[in-house]
A and B are shown apart, each in its own frame.
Chain A
Amino acid sequence: MSARTWNVAGLALVGVIGLVAMIGLPQWLELSSLLDVTVYLILAILALSLAVVWGYGGILCFGQSAFFGLGAYAYAIAMFNIGESTIPFVLAIALPAAFAALLGYFMFYGRISDVYLGVITLTVTLILFNAVNSTAGPEYRIGEARLGGFNGIPSIPPLNWPGVPDSALDLNDLFYVSIVLLLAVYFGLRWLLVSRFGRVMVAIRENEQRTGFLGYDARLYKLGTFALGGALAGLAGCLFANWGAFVSPTIFGLGQSAQIIIWVIVGGRGTLIGPVVGCIAIQWLTAYLGSAQLSKASLTQIVGPTVANVLSSTLGIADFSNTNLVLGAVLLAFVLLVPRGVMPTLRDLVRLPFARRRPARDLVPDKAEGTT
C-alpha cells in the first residue's frame, strides 16, 4: 500500500471516529461524563497547537501555556466588559496570536538558537504567571473585570451564538462546539501540511539554511507558524474558560506547560493524531490517579506487600496519586525509551507487513542542536 493510500485511510478513520463520537457520546454518557470528555476535546486542541509548532515547525516552545492562558483571560475579561461573546471569542484567538507574533519576531529575527528559545518561552510563562498571580487586590481591574490574582476569575459568562446574546451555550452545546472545532482544527492542519506553506514549514524544520538558499525567508515562516500555534492555543483557552466558567493563574504555570509537552512527546512529534491521543490518554490517567487515591492499600495490590511496606516505611510515602510524580516518570520514560512517541512507533508496526521496503525514516525534528 502506498503512503497516499495510508493517508486517505487515516483521514477517513479519524473522520468516522469523530462523527461517531459526536453523535453517540451525548446519548451514551451521563452529562457529568460528557463534561469530562468535553475538557479532553478542548485540551486536545491545545495539544494540536504545540504539535504543529514543535512537531512540524521545529520550534521548541516550552511555554505554549502562555497563549492558552492569554486566550482564557482575554475571553473572560472581554466577556465581563462586553456581555456578548462574538468579540471576546475573536479576541481570545487574536490576542494570543498577536502576542505570539510579537514574541516570535523578537526571537526569530534575533536568530536565537533552539535551546535558548526553550528557555525564553519558559521564562515568558513564568513572567505571566507571576504578574497575574499578584493582581489579587481590587485595584487590578480591566474595565468591569477584576483580575483576582491567585484567586482567579470566577463565574465567567458562557459563549452565545454570534449576535444572539440570549442564546447562551449549555454544557451539551459546549460539547458539540468543542468536538466540531477539534475536528475542524485537525482537518485544517492536515490541509495546511499539504499546502505550500506547510511544506515549506517542514522543509525549514529539516534544513533552515537550505530554505534560505532557495529564497525563503525562514524567519517569516516560523513567525507565521508560531502565531498560528498561539491562535489555536488561545482558542483552546477560550473554550477552557467556558468549560469551567473559571480561570486562574495556574493556567500559565510550569505544570501546564509541562503537560502540553508531555502530550506531544507521548503521542509523537511529527504527527497530529499522536498528540491528540497522548493528551486524552494522559488526562485520563491523571484524572484516574486523582480519584483512585493510590494509597498504601492499592499500592500493595500493584507492587506487592513487601515493596509497598519498604516504600511507605522508609520514605514515609503515603500518597502516590500525586500527578507530578506520574507525569515526571512518564516524561522520563518516553525521552529515554520511546523518544519517537507512541503513534509513529505503532504506525510502523502496523505498516510493516504491508511495506515493500523499509518504512520511511520518521520525521522527528532532530536538527543541529548547538547552543552557540
Chain B
Amino acid sequence: MDLVLVLVIQVLFAMASLALISVGLAVIFGMMRVINLAHGEFLMLGGYSAIVANQHGINLWIAMLVVAPLVVGAIGVLVERTLIRFLYGRMIDTMLATWGLSLFLIGLITGIFGNTTVGISAPLGGMAIGNYRTSIYGLVVIAITAVLLVAIYLVLRHTRVGLLARGTMQNPNMAAALGLSPPKVYAVTFGVGAALSGLAGALIAPISGVFPTIGIAYIAKAFITVIGGGAAILSGTVTAAALFGAIQEVATYFTTPVFGVVITLAAAIVLIRLLPQGITGRFFKRWL
C-alpha cells in the first residue's frame, strides 16, 4: 500500500514536471506558431535567477515564484523585440535563430558562472510514508503546477485577455480585428511564455541543480509534450504530460532512468507519426 502511494506520487510528479517545463513553450507555440529552440535556456535562466536572488538574501520562495518569472519574462520581451519579430511567418528561420540564441545563452552563462553545477538544497525536507520516504518539495511542485494550470484555465476562460488569446489561437488576425496591435500581443505573449519557463526553471532548480547546459536535458521532453499535445495550450499540455509522464515512470521502473527517457522520446515520435496534429488535433478539439 505504501509502495503504491509512493509510486503514485512519483508518477504524478513526473506528469507535473513535464507539464511545468512545457507550458511556457506551449503558450508561445499555441499562440504564435513559433517553435522556440531556446526554451531550454529560458528554463536554465530561471534557475540561475532564483539561485542568484537567493544568494543575495532574497527568500527562496520569493526568488522562485516572483523573481525568476519576472527576470526571464523581461528577457523574453527583449528577445521578441530584438529577434523574433523580424522572423514572423518564417517558421524555419525562427527555429534556426532561436537555436543560435540557445547556443549564445549557453556560452554567455558559461562565461559568467563557469561550467559547473550550482546547487540549492530542496526546502521542506522529507516525510515518511510507511517504510518509504518522499520529499515534501516534490508534493509542493505538484501542487504549484496544478494551481498554475487552473489559473491559466481561469484566465483563458473568464478574462478579456483570455478571450483574446483564445481568438488568436483560432485566427491570428483576431487581435488586429479587435483593434489591438499585433506586435504588442506578440511581445506580451512571448514574455508570458518566457516568464512561465522561468518559473518552471526555478522550481526544478532545487531538484536537479543548475548548470549552463541543463536546458538540453529538458528541451526534447518539452517539445514532445507540446507537439504531442497539439494546438490547444492547456488540454494539449495536460494530456501529453500525463501520457508521457506515465510512460516515463513505468519505463524507468522497469529499466533505468536514462532508458525511461529514451523510451518516452521514442514513444513520442510514434505518437507524432500517428497523430500529426497532436492529441488535441484528434481528441478534445473544442477544449482550451
Interface residues of A (CB under 8 A from B): 60, 106-107, 110-116, 118-120, 122-124, 126-127, 130-131, 133-134, 253-255, 258, 261, 265, 315-320, 322-333, 335-336, 339, 369-372
Q: How large is the interface on B (under 10, 10 to 19, 20 to 34, 35 or more residues)?
A: 35 or more
Q: Is B8 an interface residue, CB under 8 A from the partner?
A: no
Contacts of A261 in B (CB 8 A): 96, 99
The chain B residue sitting closest to A112, CB to CB, is B276
Tell whether, in the assembled complex, residue B256 and residue A134 are in contact, meaning their CB atoms are under 8 Å apart. Answer: yes
Contacts of A319 in B (CB 8 A): 111
Q: How far is the CB of B189 from chain A (nearest CB, A)?
A: 16
Contacts of A134 in B (CB 8 A): 256, 258-259
Interface residues of B (CB under 8 A from A): 33, 35, 83, 86-87, 89-93, 95-97, 99-108, 110-112, 216, 219-220, 223-224, 227, 231, 256, 258-259, 261-262, 265-266, 268-269, 272-273, 276-277
Tell whether, in the assembled complex, residue A325 and residue B216 are in contact, meaning their CB atoms are under 8 Å apart. Answer: no
The chain A residue sitting closest to B226, CB to CB, is A119
- For the complex, would chain A's binding face be called helix, strand, loop or mixed by DSSP majority? helix
Q: How far is the CB of A232 from chain B (nearest CB, A)?
A: 22
Q: How far is the CB of B234 from chain A (nearest CB, A)?
A: 18
Query: Can you name 20 A-B pairs with beta carbons within 8 Å?
Result: A60-B92, A115-B91, A115-B92, A119-B224, A119-B227, A119-B272, A120-B269, A122-B223, A123-B265, A254-B216, A316-B112, A322-B110, A324-B103, A324-B104, A327-B103, A332-B97, A333-B100, A336-B97, A370-B91, A372-B277
Contacts of A332 in B (CB 8 A): 83, 97, 100-101, 104
Tell whether, in the assembled complex, residue B103 and residue A325 are in contact, meaning their CB atoms are under 8 Å apart. Answer: yes
Tell whether, in the assembled complex, residue A328 and residue B105 are in contact, meaning their CB atoms are under 8 Å apart. Answer: yes
- Given the known inter-chain contacts A127-B265, A325-B108, please indicate yes or no for A122 contacting B101, CB distance below 8 A: no
A247 to B192, CA, bound (A): 42
Tell whether, in the assembled complex, residue B103 and residue A113 are in contact, meaning their CB atoms are under 8 Å apart. Answer: no
Tell whether, in the assembled complex, residue A326 and residue B97 are in contact, meaning their CB atoms are under 8 Å apart. Answer: no
Contacts of A111 in B (CB 8 A): 276
Q: How far is the CB of A186 from chain B (nearest CB, A)?
A: 25
Q: How far is the CB of A171 from chain B (nearest CB, A)?
A: 31
The chain B residue sitting closest to A311, CB to CB, is B111
Q: How far is the CB of A286 from chain B (nearest CB, A)?
A: 11
Q: How far is the CB of B228 from chain A (nearest CB, A)?
A: 10
The chain B residue sitting closest to A135, CB to CB, is B258
A327 to B96, CA, bound (A): 12
Q: How far is the CB of B224 from chain A (nearest CB, A)?
A: 6
Q: How far is the CB of A154 from chain B (nearest CB, A)?
A: 22
Partner of B100, one of A119, A127, A328: A328
A320 to B219, CA, bound (A): 25
Tell whether, in the assembled complex, residue B276 and residue A116 are in contact, meaning their CB atoms are under 8 Å apart. Answer: yes
Partner of B83, one of A126, A318, A336: A336
A316 to B87, CA, bound (A): 32
The chain A residue sitting closest to B38, CB to CB, is A328
A315 to B108, CA, bound (A): 9
A110 to B275, CA, bound (A): 9
Contacts of B104 in A (CB 8 A): 324-325, 328-329, 332
Q: How far is the CB of B255 from chain A (nearest CB, A)?
A: 10
Contacts of B258 in A (CB 8 A): 130-131, 133-134
Contacts of B99 in A (CB 8 A): 258, 261, 331
The chain A residue sitting closest to B212, CB to CB, is A324
3 tightest CB-CB pairs across the interface, nearest first?
A325-B107, A328-B104, A331-B100
Contacts of A114 in B (CB 8 A): 91-92
Q: How far is the CB of A59 from chain B (nearest CB, A)?
A: 12
Beyond A119-B227, A130-B265, A253-B216, list 18 extra A-B contacts (CB 8 Å): A110-B273, A115-B95, A116-B227, A116-B272, A120-B272, A122-B220, A122-B223, A123-B223, A130-B258, A318-B111, A322-B107, A322-B110, A322-B111, A324-B104, A328-B105, A331-B99, A331-B100, A371-B35
Contacts of B93 in A (CB 8 A): 335, 339
Tell whether, in the assembled complex, residue B223 and residue A112 are in contact, meaning their CB atoms are under 8 Å apart. Answer: no
A261 to B96, CA, bound (A): 9
Contacts of A133 in B (CB 8 A): 258
Tell whether, in the assembled complex, residue A331 and residue B35 are in contact, meaning their CB atoms are under 8 Å apart. Answer: no
A120 to B101, CA, bound (A): 20
- Given the known inter-chain contacts A126-B220, A130-B261, A261-B99, please indicate yes or no for A118 contacting B92, CB distance below 8 A: yes
